[in-house]
Amino acid sequence: MNTPRFDYQRYLLAKRTVDARSFNMHVWNSLEKALASASHPLRVLELGAGVGSMAARLLDHGLLNRAECTLVDEIPENLTVAKNSLNAVDPNVTQFNVVREDAYSFLESKRGEKWDLLIGHALLDLLDLNFAIPRLLASLKLGGLFYFPINYDGLSTFQPEVDAEFESKILAAYHRTMDERVVDGKPSGDSKTGRHLLTALPAAGAEILATGSSDWIVRPQHSTYPADEAYFLECILLTVEGALKNFPGSDQNKLKDWLEVRRTQLANAQLVYIAHQLDVVGRYRG
Ligand SMILES: C[S@@+](CC[C@H](N)C(=O)[O-])C[C@H]1O[C@@H](n2cnc3c(N)ncnc32)[C@H](O)[C@@H]1O
């Protein structure tokens, strides 16, 4: 079987339909309500904006009228896709500014500037919360809003069950790779980000207005996967494979067999994937 290639932009586009089913609507409704009473024009900052999926969703729901939005990401190819998908937007209604930079250097260089809404969508589980949370919140005006959806929270499962004991070892090792990940010499990631946010945010001066689960559930329907979700699943398998390659303690031969079985199930539209995640919306109180 040919191993597919991980194309990050295609993965982020494929993730759109999965996320759209998963966003917690209680959290989304709280965001909508808070934005309705916010003063405009609204200054919006999205860090780790990827291909602009959240901006597109907010626009579709009319939540970015009279807004100035800055999208920051460190990968230029992501921002090229974002720019293309947002170029039909009327600049008299919503202005977009796209910045290719590391989130922390961006925040450092804009220390004097404050935003009304900060977004980190599927971002915080890639960061070290102790380092990130105070820096992210400091970019907000007092009373400013943050919306942090899709934070991984320590549980994944693949169905139908195949060697459950080995799979639980794979997932435990996969979680360890997240917890021990180091990028540019800094710890970067936490496999239980969702639950940790619920104490880390208030400890840094934030009020949580709403939270709830936003689990990804990807399953075949009528013997096929919706939209590009088969590719999304291929990327999940590639991520597990990449994380565990050469990871101490993982049995590479058994891992290879496990991947083969899961890829065959995917090709036959039998594979189901669930990942537990949390969404959070709140205000910075200082
Ligand atoms: C999982 S993706 C999510 C992208 C997008 N928010 C979405 O959900 O479709 C994480 C994104 O954060 C970006 N990213 C990760 N760490 C970053 C950093 N330190 N500074 C800027 N961007 C970062 C990546 O390039 C990637 O686009």
Q: What is the CA radius of gyration of the chain?
A: 19
Quote the CA–CA distance of 190 and 257 in Å, as a whole number. Answer: 27
Q: Length of the chain in residues, anyone?
A: 286
Beta-carbon count within 10 A of 199 CB: 11
12 lines ligand 1 (CB under 6 A): yes
Beta-carbon count within 10 A of 253 CB: 7
126 falls in which pLDDT band (50, 70, 90)?
very high
Quote the CA–CA distance of 284 and 286 in Å, as a whole number. Answer: 6
CA distances from 82 to 12, 23, 52, 98, 244 (A): 11, 20, 4, 8, 31
Lowest mean pLDDT, pick from 18-27, 59-68, 250-259: 250-259
State what percent of residues in the chain have pLDDT above 90: 90
- State the residue range of the domain holding 240: 8-284
Helices (H) and strands (E) in the chain, counts: 10, 10
pLDDT (0 to 100) of residue 1: 63
- Give residue 257 CA to ligand 1 midpoint distance, Å: 31
Quote the CA–CA distance of 260 and 51 in Å, as a whole number. Answer: 30
194 lines ligand 1 (CB under 6 A): no
In a domain, 1, yes or no: no
CA distances from 120 to 10, 54, 55, 114, 257 (A): 20, 9, 11, 16, 36
251 lines ligand 1 (CB under 6 A): no
In a domain, 265, yes or no: yes
Q: Taking a C-beta distance cutoff of 8 angstroms, is the pair 154, 195 a contact? A: yes
Pocket test for ligand 1, best of 15, 17, 47, 73 (most atoms within 8 A of CB): 73
In a domain, 165, yes or no: yes
75 lines ligand 1 (CB under 6 A): yes
Q: Provide mean pLDDT across the span 139-160.
A: 98
- Give the tokens for residue 176: 């360890």
pLDDT in tens, 185-229: 888 899 999 999 999 999 999 999 999 999 999 999 999 999 999
In a domain, 179, yes or no: yes
- What is the number of the ligand 1 atom nearest to the C-alpha of 48? 12
70 lines ligand 1 (CB under 6 A): no
Beta-carbon count within 10 A of 227 CB: 13
Q: Provide mean pLDDT across the span 239-268.
A: 89
- Give residue 55 CA to ligand 1 midpoint distance, Å: 14
In a domain, 268, yes or no: yes
Can you give the CATH number for the domain in which 73 is found? 3.40.50.150
How many domains is the chain built from?
A: 1
- Give residue 49 CA to ligand 1 midpoint distance, Å: 6
pLDDT (0 to 100) of residue 113: 96
What phi and psi, each to the nearest 5 degrees, are found at residue 94?
-140, 125
121 lines ligand 1 (CB under 6 A): yes
CA distances from 133 to 40, 124, 127, 210 (A): 25, 9, 9, 17
In a domain, 170, yes or no: yes
Q: Taking a C-beta distance cutoff of 8 angstroms, is the pair 71, 97 a contact? A: yes
Ordered alpha helix ranges (H), 8-127: 8-22, 25-36, 53-60, 76-86, 103-109
Quote the CA–CA distance of 41 and 39 in Å, as a whole number. Answer: 7
What phi and psi, each to the nearest 5 degrees, are found at residue 275?
-130, 130
| pLDDT surpasses 90 at 118 | yes
Chain-centroid distance of CA 189 in Å reads 12
Quote the CA–CA distance of 81 and 78 in Å, as a whole number. Answer: 5
In a domain, 278, yes or no: yes
